[in-house]
Amino acid sequence: MKSILLKLVAALWLIPPAFLVAGPPEPPSGWTEGYVMANGIRLHYWRTGGDKPVMVMAHGFSDDGLCWTQLAVELTDQFDLILFDARGHGLSDAPNRSDPADAQVEDLAGLIKALELKNPILMGHSMGSASVAWFAARYPDVPKAIILEDPRLVGRSPLSSGEVSEEDLKKRAATILEQNNKTYDEIVEHGLKQNPSWGEAEIRIWAASKQRHHPNLVYRTFSQDRPSTSDLFKKITCPTLILKADAGEKLRRENEQVAAHLKNGKLVHIESAGHNVRREQKERLLQALMPFLHSL
C-alpha cells in the first residue's frame, strides 16, 4: 500500500502545473501579436491574419484586446481581425494624467497608420465605441464602416476633473490598484458570481484584463473636452451599425433621436442585453451584425 502511495505522489509531481491550476486561456492557434508606436506610445495588439477584409476592434474600459476573443472566433473565417490594447490596458503603455481627451482617438489613428491599413472596418465597445465614433467623425474617409456596441447615446454629461476632488481620484486609483493585486482565481470567482450568464470561458478571458489596466485611467474619465454623440454622428459618413442594450420605450425613442443624426446608420436594440451586449446575447448580436457586414 505504501509503495502505491509513493508512486501516486511521484506521478503528481510529473503533472504539468497548467493541469493543476487553470490560468488565463491561451489565444487561439495561429493568432500573432505585435507592437507599434502610435501617437507617441507603444500599443500592443493581437491579429488573426489572412488575406481578408480588415476589422480593428476597440475594447471597453478595463478590458483588453483579448476580451474580444469569443466574438472574434465567429468572424475569423471572413475577416482579418486586429484586437489592440488601448492606452493603459493590457500590454500597451500606461496613460499620463496630462493626456488630452482625444488621446485614444489619435492612438487609433496611429495604429491604423503604423499597420498601413486601408479603409478598415472599426468596431468598438463602450469606451472603445466612443473612440471609434470620434475617429470616424474626425477622419470620415478612413473607415469603411463602423460598429458601436452599446455606446452612450443619451445620459449624464462627462464631468470635468475640477468637479472631482483629488482625494476621490486617489481612492478610485487605489481601487484599480487593489484589483490589479488580486489573484487571477479571486477575480474569476468574483466574475462568476457577478456575471454568471457570461459563462466560465468568457470570465476567464475577462479576468486576466483586470490585473493589467492602469490606475491612471481614472483621470481620462473626467473631461468636458469631449463632443456630444449627436455632434459626432453629424460628421460620420460611413455605414454605421449601433448594437444597443435593451431599453424601455422612452429610452429607445431617445436613442433613436440621437441615431437619426447619422447619414447612413442603423440602430438595433438587442433584446435582453445589458451593457456587455456580446457577452450577454452573442447570438442575437450576430443576427444583427452579420447581415450588416455582408452588405458592405
Domain membership of residue 205 as a residue range:
28-294
User: What are the pLDDT digits (tens) for 10-22?
Assistant: 343 334 443 334 6
Q: Which of 113-122, 151-160, 197-206 has the lowest mean pLDDT?
A: 151-160
As a whole number, mean pLDDT of residues 213-239 equals 88
Is 22 a domain residue? no
Cα 188 to Cα 180: distance, rounded to the nearest angstrom: 13
Tens-place pLDDT, residues 100-141? 999 999 999 999 999 999 999 999 999 999 999 999 999 999
The average confidence (pLDDT) of the chain is: 91
Predicted confidence (pLDDT) at residue 220 exceeds the cutoff of 80? no
Assigned domain for 280 exists: yes
DSSP for the chain reads: -HHHHHHHHHHHHHS-HHHHS--SPPPPTT-EEEEEEETTEEEEEEE--SSS-EEEEE--TT--GGGGHHHHTTTTTT-EEEEEPPTTSTTSPPP-TT--TTHHHHHHHHHHHHTT--S-EEEEETHHHHHHHHHHHHSTTS-SEEEEES---SSPPPPPGGGS-HHHHHHHHHHHHHHHTS-HHHHHHHHHHH-GGG-HHHHHHHHHHHTTS-GGGGGTT--S-SPPHHHHHHH--S-EEEEEEP--HHHHHHHHHHHTT-SSEEEEEETT--SSHHHH-HHHHHHHHHHHHHT-
Residue 97 lies in a domain: yes
Tell whether 10 is covered by a domain.
no
pLDDT at 226: 85
In a domain, 21, yes or no: no
Residue 268, domain member (yes or no): yes
Average pLDDT on 153-174 reads 75
CB atoms within 10 A of CB 217: 21
Whether residue 4 is contained in a domain is answered as no
Of the pLDDT bands very low, low, confident and very high (cuts 50, 70, 90), residue 164 is confident
End-to-end CA distance of the chain: 69
- The domain spanning residue 182 has which CATH number? 3.40.50.1820
* Rounded Cα gap, residues 237 and 243, in angstroms: 18
Please state the domain count of the chain: 1
Confidence bin at 165 (pLDDT 50/70/90) = confident
Report if residue 75 sits inside a domain.
yes
